[in-house]
């Protein structure tokens, strides 16, 4: 059995580009030239024989949505190099259900998860489910984010924006202001206060990322990190499940957020 991992809309997860095919089982991809050298990566339709290797290379959510795994059959000339193979053609056999994808996630996690493997696999699969955005409910997202702020002990306000780009624009304005404030503080020979302000901001600036939530969870479970394993998960995962597109600090004590754009079906 061989596997190929795509983005949620069947694009190459590393190189990007157009969708590879239309998602029809049995599709045979066009003939391409195959690199027969000893390089691990080369021209050809690439696939893996071990699911967890494909997930390690492509990621669990490479474009912010859960990756999609297909069972494939290599055709024509096939070159095997380590964990990867490349072929002239691939037959797209079937998409793997999430239960089977979970087996690959388990194989990725077991070497370092130890006795907490079950919990960590469940968490990663729950994030995959949430990042598929099965619902689109702005009111629920706002309530979820408020729950997340409360869990983190943050007395912040929430500000919804029309798009993720608008949130990042607001953040860019704030970053620019911080840069000028830091310069003014240094000019006033108050570099220590400026550094402290920057450090305080940096401590919170990226805590709304999925991987940050998983890192805190793993650190708390495996290494006794002094925090609840769910500290950065509470509220945030539900917000994504309800259709959150992004959430980032956009100003002092203000969390900017936007809904994900609903895809056309």
Shared domain check, 252 and 137: yes
Shared domain check, 182 and 85: no
Shared domain check, 62 and 143: no
Instruction: Give every strand in the sheet of 254-259, ordered side by side.
Output: 157-160, 254-259, 244-251
Is residue 102 in some structural domain?
no
Identify the residue with better confidence: 76 or 175. 76
Shared domain check, 53 and 137: no
Confidence of residue 229 (pLDDT cuts 50, 70, 90): very high
Least confident of 15-19, 154-158, 190-194: 190-194
CA distance 149 to 193: 26
What is the count of structural domains for the chain? 2
CA distance 1 to 251: 50
Shared domain check, 82 and 186: no
Range of the structural domain that residue 80 is part of:
2-96
Shared domain check, 241 and 179: yes
Please compute, for residue 262, the number of CA atoms within 13 A of its CA located in the half-sphere on the CB side.
8
Is residue 109 in some structural domain?
no
CA distance 246 to 186: 33
Least confident of 24-33, 68-77, 165-174: 165-174
Shared domain check, 171 and 249: yes
Is residue 50 in some structural domain?
yes
Per residue in 169-220, pLDDT (tens digit) is 888 877 776 554 444 444 444 444 444 444 443 444 345 788 889 998 999 9
Shared domain check, 192 and 239: yes
Shared domain check, 89 and 6: yes
Is residue 113 in some structural domain?
no
Shared domain check, 155 and 233: yes
Is residue 123 in some structural domain?
no
Confidence of residue 40 (pLDDT cuts 50, 70, 90): confident
Per-chain mean pLDDT for the chain = 87
Tokens of 82: 């380590």
Give the contacts of 243 (CB within 8 A, at least 6 positions apart).
133, 135, 136, 137, 138, 140, 141, 259, 260, 262
Shared domain check, 232 and 164: yes
- On whether the CB atoms of residues 46 and 85 are closer than 8 A, the answer is yes
Is residue 11 in some structural domain?
yes
Shared domain check, 252 and 139: yes
């Amino acid at each position: 059995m061989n596997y190929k991992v795509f983005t949620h809309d069947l694009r190459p997860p590393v190189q990007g580009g157009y969708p590879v095919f239309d998602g029809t089982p049995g599709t045979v991809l066009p003939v391409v030239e195959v690199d027969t050298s000893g390089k691990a990566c080369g021209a050809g339709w690439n696939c893996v024989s071990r699911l967890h290797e494909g997930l390690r290379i492509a990621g669990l959510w490479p474009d912010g949505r859960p990756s999609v795994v297909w069972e494939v059959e290599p055709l024509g000339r096939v070159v095997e190099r380590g964990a990867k193979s490349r072929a002239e053609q691939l037959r797209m056999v079937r998409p793997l259900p999430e239960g089977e994808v979970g087996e690959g996630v388990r194989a990725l996690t077991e070497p370092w998860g130890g006795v907490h493997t079950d919990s960590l696999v469940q968490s990663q699969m729950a994030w995959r489910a949430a990042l598929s955005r099965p619902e689109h409910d702005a009111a629920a997202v706002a309530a979820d984010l408020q729950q997340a702020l409360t869990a983190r002990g943050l007395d912040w306000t929430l500000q919804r924006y029309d798009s993720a780009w608008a949130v990042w624009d607001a953040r860019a304005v704030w970053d620019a202001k911080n840069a000028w404030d830091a310069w003014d503080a240094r000019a006033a020979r108050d570099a220590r206060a400026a550094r402290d302000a920057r450090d305080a901001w940096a401590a919170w600036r990226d805590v709304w990322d999925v991987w940050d939530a998983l890192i805190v969870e793993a650190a708390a479970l495996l290494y006794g990190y002094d925090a609840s394993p769910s500290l950065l998960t509470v509220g945030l995962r539900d917000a994504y499940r309800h259709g959150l597109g992004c959430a980032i600090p956009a100003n002092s004590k203000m969390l900017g957020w936007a809904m994900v754009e609903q895809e056309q079906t």
